[in-house]
Amino acid sequence: MLVRSYFKINRFHLPRLSCLAFQHSLPRKTNAFSHQSLDTNASMNSEKMSLPRYPTGYDLLLDRRINKGTAFTIEERQLYRIHGLLPPTISTPQLQVERFIENLRNMPDDLSRYISLGALQDRNEKLFYRVAMEYTQEIMPLVYTPTVGLACQKYGLIFSKPKGLFISILDKGHIYDVFCNWPVDDVRAIVVTDGERILGLGDLGCNGMGIPVGKLSLYTALAGVPPEYCLPIALDVGTNNGNILNDKYYLGLRQTRVTGKEYDDFIDEFMQAVVKRFGQQCLIQFEDFANHNAFRLLKKYRDIYCTFNDDIQGTASVAVAGILSAIRITGKNLIDNRFVFYGAGEASIGISNLLVVALEREGLSTEEARKKIFLVDSKGLIVKNRPAGGLSEEKQRYAHEHEPIRNLIDVIQIVKPSFLIGAAGQGPAFTHDILQLMSLINQRPVIFALSNPTSKAECTAREAYEATNGQCVFASGSPFPNVEYNGKTYIPGQGNNSYIFPGVGLAIVTCGIRHIPDELFYLAAKTLSQQVTNDDLQVGLVYPPIEKIRDVSRKIAVVLAEYAYEKNIASLYPKPNHLEKFIQTKQYTVEYQDILPARWSWAN
Ligand SMILES: O=C([O-])CC(=O)C(=O)O
Ligand SMILES: [Mg+2]
């Protein structure tokens, strides 16, 4: 059948088609990324049949948004002049996925796989997301933590094609003009980093670009945010990392970081330029800024722009969701727990702040809630009488009236926590002794090792299960494989903000939420935790399985959108009658776009 139609078209229709294409002056080139204005049906409304304005010939194969590779049909190959540029067999999308996965598995290491996935994203976006959605569990660690950490460290070596914008301090005064070089006008979600604290790896300068790219890939793969709405940005204000400055392949500015007023003015201009270019409702997600800027900038911008800080608020939300699920396993009421945090940076403070909200909902006063939380930083337990240098405003809230305690193990001895949460980005810190102590204090201790990438995790899943004799409830920021221990299989959950930010992004881009109050992250946490079934809890999972993530993200988005309409901070009007259905219709699908004119038939 296929072969017959192939010959039929070849023999009888090719000359006529070519001629038709010329007659209606099919444009040879359109903007490589933007097809949203090129509506097939709209073009079909004209009396005379005209062809949709897609690139033709080789250019079509270079257009990642509509390229289908070997899945282009005979008709498409003929009509768009790509016949002969591809081998004769027409693949199904499923076969394309299988071919890609087989190649991927044959590659020597994860960095090669990262590069290969990035190249697929540049070449055939639909196929990239089909692979990412069908093989989420396998692909996520390659496009995201932990491999993205390695990719950032090697970014100068592996950079090939632009996936976002690089805006440097040298662009100061002209940031809007740089934005104008981005080929899409309707951008609704930006993830931006200044590269100063990439995961737990420290200052990587503009090599940090891998993070916004990875995060936005998950916006689409995990929540179905259309990729054309997404823009990754690296702000380059220099780097204080000597190794990078001396790396001959480094692609960023070779200068130390600009700070103070010059930095602040630069970020101000950046924020204003986003609004000028893309509008007030464009989401700006801050990612992997250093502590000292992260809190400050969040406070400064949160009420003026549509913005949030993922490391503070997204991580807080996913961790609180994990806490709410974990107490369903341990059987303790939330207010009967004590929480020790190892690390007192963005993640720990963010989680603590949201946890206080959750404890308040259970009837505690703010003061009582804060007393349940114990932060340990590089100097030990955070206590009120810290000598010279003092404590930042954020840490101050959690300072206890206590003698200084230097070591984590001593803190645990004295505080007797039920939760031990690591988010210091310092690598192994939950020793066998510490983990064992947790299981002496608690029947079911809860251990979260949230630091990323894997090399920075406070302990491995195996270490946690073994030291606690399989009794602990465990989650980690980067994925760990299942653990077989004493004849039982333990499934470690991934307490990563990727359970939260894609759903938050989906709500914002579909309903035009103008501001992002903290309440949204509490609602997201509750909704996420509600998606955890008793079966999940039974195997120790405090998050839903990753296979359900698209539905989970949509559920989060619906709850957030409801809240936004209630509080009058959604700008899409009128409110859709059925929010869930509405949001679902806006979720990206991996079906190839039909690029044949709607009324075209080969019988013509
Ligand atoms: O990227 C991740 O995996 C989570 C995160 O935001 C971080 O560790 O900074
Ligand atoms: Mg981050």
Residues 108 and 246 in one domain: yes
Report residue 49's pLDDT band, with 50, 70 and 90 as the boundaries.
low
Confidence (pLDDT) at 390:
77
Residues 346 and 294 in one domain: no
Going by alpha carbons, the residue nearest to atom 9 of ligand 1 is: 199
Q: What is the CATH number of the domain that holds 414?
A: 3.40.50.720
Residues 185 and 326 in one domain: no
Best residue among 315, 458, 499, 543 to mutate for probing ligand 1's pocket (most ligand atoms within 8 Å of CB) is: 315
Report residue 318's pLDDT band, with 50, 70 and 90 as the boundaries.
very high
Query: CA-to-CA distance for 16 and 447, rounded, in angstroms?
Result: 69
Determine, yes or no, domain membership for 362. Answer: yes
Please state the rounded mean pLDDT for residues 25-41: 38
HEC string of 105-124 equals: HCCCCHHHHHHHHHHHHHHC
| 341 sits in which H/E element | strand 339-342
500 CA distance to ligand 1 middle (Å): 12
Confidence (pLDDT) at 14:
40
Determine, yes or no, domain membership for 592. Answer: no
What is the set of active-site residues? Answer: 144, 215
Confidence (pLDDT) at 67:
97
On the question of pLDDT at 36 being above 90, the answer is no
Residues 346 and 298 in one domain: no
Give the position, in ligand 1's atom list, of the atom nearest the Cα of 145.
3
Determine, yes or no, domain membership for 163. Answer: yes
Determine, yes or no, domain membership for 161. Answer: yes
Q: Of 238, 272, 305, which one is at a domain's C-terminal end?
A: 305
Give the position, in ligand 1's atom list, of the atom nearest the Cα of 452.
8
Amino acid in position 334: L
Best residue among 142, 198, 288, 348 to mutate for probing ligand 1's pocket (most ligand atoms within 8 Å of CB) is: 288
Report residue 597's pLDDT band, with 50, 70 and 90 as the boundaries.
confident
Q: What is the ipTM of this complex?
A: 0.97
Amino acid in position 159: F
Summarised one tens digit per residue, pLDDT across range 158-194 is: 999 999 999 999 999 999 999 999 999 999 999 999 9
The percentage of residues in the chain with a pLDDT greater than 90, rounded to a whole number, is 87
Q: Of 266, 283, 305, which one is at a domain's C-terminal end?
A: 305
Residues 255 and 124 in one domain: yes
Determine, yes or no, domain membership for 201. Answer: yes
Residues annotated in the binding site for (S)-malate, as ranges? Answer: 197, 452, 496
b/e burial code for range 248-275 (CB count within 10 A of at least 16 → b) = eebbbbebebbeeeebeebbebbbebbb
Summarised one tens digit per residue, pLDDT across range 246-280 is: 999 999 999 999 999 999 999 999 999 999 999 99
Q: What is the mean pLDDT of the chain?
A: 91
Confidence (pLDDT) at 321:
98
**Ligand 1: lining residues by beta carbon, under 6 Å:** 145, 199, 288, 310-311, 452, 477, 496-497
Summarised one tens digit per residue, pLDDT across range 324-365 is: 999 999 999 999 999 999 999 999 999 999 999 999 999 999
Report residue 112's pLDDT band, with 50, 70 and 90 as the boundaries.
very high
Summarised one tens digit per residue, pLDDT across range 113-151 is: 999 999 999 999 999 999 999 999 999 999 999 999 999
Please state the rounded mean pLDDT for residues 580-600: 89
Residues 416 and 562 in one domain: no
How many CA atoms, within 13 angstroms, populate the side-chain half-sphere of residue 278? Answer: 30
Query: CA-to-CA distance for 201 and 196, rounded, in angstroms?
Result: 9
Summarised one tens digit per residue, pLDDT across range 441-494 is: 999 999 999 999 999 999 999 999 999 999 999 999 999 999 999 999 999 999
Please state the rounded mean pLDDT for residues 98-102: 98
- 483-485 and 339-342 beta bridge pairing: unpaired
Determine, yes or no, domain membership for 604. Answer: no
598 CA distance to ligand 2 middle (Å): 44
Best residue among 147, 496, 500, 543 to mutate for probing ligand 1's pocket (most ligand atoms within 8 Å of CB) is: 496
CA 94 to chain centre: 25
Confidence (pLDDT) at 599:
59
Give the position, in ligand 1's atom list, of the atom nearest the Cα of 451.
8
137 CA distance to ligand 2 middle (Å): 20
28/291: higher pLDDT = 291
Q: What is the CATH number of the domain that holds 99?
A: 3.40.50.10380
Q: Which domain holds residue 134?
A: 94-305
Report residue 564's pLDDT band, with 50, 70 and 90 as the boundaries.
very high
51/422: higher pLDDT = 422
Q: What is the pTM of this model?
A: 0.91
Determine, yes or no, domain membership for 595. Answer: no
Nearest to 318 by CA among 461, 41, 143, 527: 527
12 CA distance to ligand 1 middle (Å): 57
Count of helix runs (H) and strand runs (E) in the chain = 28, 14
Confidence (pLDDT) at 600:
57
41 CA distance to ligand 2 middle (Å): 41
Residues 301 and 317 in one domain: no
Q: Of 283, 305, 327, which one is at a domain's C-terminal end?
A: 305
Determine, yes or no, domain membership for 603. Answer: no
**Quick check: 210 and 114 in contact, CB under 8 A?**
no
Give the closest ligand to the alpha carbon of residue 140.
1
Going by alpha carbons, the residue nearest to atom 3 of ligand 1 is: 145
Give the closest ligand to the alpha carbon of residue 145.
1
154 CA distance to ligand 1 middle (Å): 18
Residues 11 and 98 in one domain: no
**Quick check: 430 and 342 in contact, CB under 8 A?**
yes
On the question of pLDDT at 197 being above 60, the answer is yes
Confidence (pLDDT) at 386:
82
Residues 330 and 212 in one domain: no
Give the position, in ligand 1's atom list, of the atom nearest the Cα of 311.
6
On the question of pLDDT at 409 being above 90, the answer is yes
Residues 362 and 393 in one domain: yes
Query: CA-to-CA distance for 135 and 131, rounded, in angstroms?
Result: 6
Residues annotated in the binding site for a divalent metal cation, as ranges? Answer: 287-288, 311
Residues 214 and 337 in one domain: no
Residues 347 and 455 in one domain: yes
How many domains, in total, are found in the chain? 4
Give the position, in ligand 1's atom list, of the atom nearest the Cα of 314.
6
